[in-house]
């Protein structure tokens, strides 16, 4: 099997890279904070000194970056290094960027002699570690999309082909709109139950017994009850995603009142210094609003 590149060994990227290595994929990785690569190195991956070294060693390079600006840096986009990096390569974007950015970077990569596939994933750190992510794929060439689908099989419970770029990222934003609104509503419900001195264990039991039960709801409800804010999906990342959804809605002239409210709450949570904590820490912003209104 040929060596595959993986750039972006963060909260999500680290367990994803580990799953590829454990499935027998020869991997060369790079991350701006090199220390994050040590666990992947210990599992058997090669660690590169620069992004350019990854492109030199691997035809297929997966990017799990926080945003388009970070992608531009590792691709060398806007510099002479860009063509050297991407020509003859397949670049797989598994992060969440704006659909407009993704379409533009696809055009630049294709014009430089490379190929590009979107493959954003739905799920947080725990599903990533368990290989239970859901991938959405988009690309111009069906055989190339299928190649990526097979490559990321160890990472995913399901993968769904969405059409041409940027349909996968538009799909991801639609899914994020629902997920963020749902978890924010769950945090508000927990605050409501707690302020009314309800037994939160019984609250969780009622949710689990009813039609709103899901693995995600169970995990987030437990974290809220336990005041466990260890990161699975960081507040800063969720705020970025709310803004991407809101921007996409505005671009298309779509009303987005729920995600607009969520954006305000996650922004307030970041201002409280909780940006590195799990998204359920949004309950602190809700509690602060309650205190101001009391």
How do residues 99-110 score in pLDDT, each as one tens digit? 999 999 999 999
Which residues constitute the domain of residue 130?
4-165
Quick: pLDDT tens for 112-149.
999 999 999 998 889 999 999 999 999 999 999 999 99
265 and 219 part of one domain: yes
Tokens of 262: 């969520």
Nearest to 226 by CA among 293, 184, 167, 278: 278
Nearest to 282 by CA among 214, 180, 177, 174: 180
Report the largest interatomic distance among the alpha carbons of the chain, rounded to a whole angstrom: 63
Nearest to 225 by CA among 269, 171, 280: 280
**Whole-number pLDDT of residue 287:** 97
106 and 141 part of one domain: yes
Q: Which residue has the tokens 């689908």?
A: 149
Q: Which residue has the tokens 């598994």?
A: 94
How far is the CA of 290 from the CAs of 142, 224, 227, in angstroms? Answer: 51, 17, 18
142 and 198 part of one domain: no
115 and 222 part of one domain: no
46 and 157 part of one domain: yes
Whole-structure pTM value: 0.93
Classify residue 138 by its DSSP letter: E
CATH number at residue 257: 1.10.1040.10
**What is the pLDDT confidence band of residue 1, given thresholds at 50, 70 and 90?**
confident
120 and 217 part of one domain: no
Quick: pLDDT tens for 219-234.
999 999 999 999 999 9
**What is the pLDDT confidence band of residue 97, given thresholds at 50, 70 and 90?**
very high
Question: ω into residue 166 within 30 of 0, thus cis?
Answer: yes
Boundary (domain end) residue, out of 130, 165, 200: 165
Instruction: Round to the nearest angstrom and report the end-to-end CA distance of the chain.
Output: 63
Boundary (domain end) residue, out of 124, 144, 165: 165
Give the DSSP letter string of 204-238: HHHHHHSTT--HHHHHHHHHHHTT----SSBHHHH
How far is the CA of 134 from the CAs of 64, 67, 112, 154, 233, in angstroms? Answer: 15, 20, 30, 11, 15
Q: In Å, how far from its chain's centre is CA 155?
A: 13
178 and 280 part of one domain: yes
136 and 240 part of one domain: no
**Whole-number pLDDT of residue 294:** 78
Helix axes 235-251, 167-195, angle to 10 degrees: 120
155 and 56 part of one domain: yes
36 and 87 part of one domain: yes
Is residue 128 within 8 A of residue 15, CB to CB? The reply is: yes
Is residue 148 within 8 A of residue 92, CB to CB? The reply is: yes
CATH number at residue 141: 3.40.50.720
139 and 284 part of one domain: no
10 and 93 part of one domain: yes
Boundary (domain end) residue, out of 108, 141, 165: 165
Domain count, the chain: 2
Average pLDDT for the chain: 96
Instruction: Count the neighbouring beta carbons within 10 Å of the beta carbon of residue 210.
Output: 8
């Amino acid at each position: 099997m040929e060596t595959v590149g993986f750039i972006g060994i963060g909260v999500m990227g680290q367990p994803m890279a580990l799953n590829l290595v454990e499935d027998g994929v020869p991997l060369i990785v790079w991350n701006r904070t090199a220390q994050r690569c040590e666990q992947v190195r210990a599992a058997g991956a090669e660690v590169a000194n620069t992004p350019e070294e990854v492109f030199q060693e691997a035809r297929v390079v997966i990017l799990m970056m926080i945003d388009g600006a970070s992608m531009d840096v590792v691709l060398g986009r806007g510099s002479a290094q860009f063509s050297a990096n991407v020509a003859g390569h397949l670049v797989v974007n598994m992060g969440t960027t704006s659909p407009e950015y993704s379409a533009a970077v696809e055009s630049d990569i294709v014009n430089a002699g490379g190929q590009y596939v979107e493959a954003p994933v739905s799920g947080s750190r725990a599903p990533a570690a368990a290989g239970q992510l859901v991938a959405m794929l988009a690309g111009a060439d069906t055989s190339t999309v299928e190649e990526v689908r097979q490559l990321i099989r160890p990472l995913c419970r399901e993968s769904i082909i969405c059409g041409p770029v940027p349909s996968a990222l538009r799909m991801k934003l639609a899914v994020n709109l629902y997920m963020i609104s749902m978890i924010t509503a769950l945090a508000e419900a927990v605050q409501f139950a707690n302020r009314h001195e309800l037994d939160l264990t019984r609250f969780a039991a009622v949710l689990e017994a009813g039609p709103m039960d899901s693995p995600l709801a169970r995990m987030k409800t437990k974290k809220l009850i336990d005041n466990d804010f260890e990161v699975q999906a960081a507040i800063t990342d969720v705020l970025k995603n709310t803004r991407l959804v809101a921007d996409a809605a505005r671009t298309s002239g779509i009303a987005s009142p729920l995600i607009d409210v969520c954006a305000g709450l996650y922004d307030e949570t970041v201002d409280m210094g909780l940006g590195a904590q799990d998204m359920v820490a949004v309950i602190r912003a809700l509690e602060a609003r309650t205190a101001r209104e009391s």
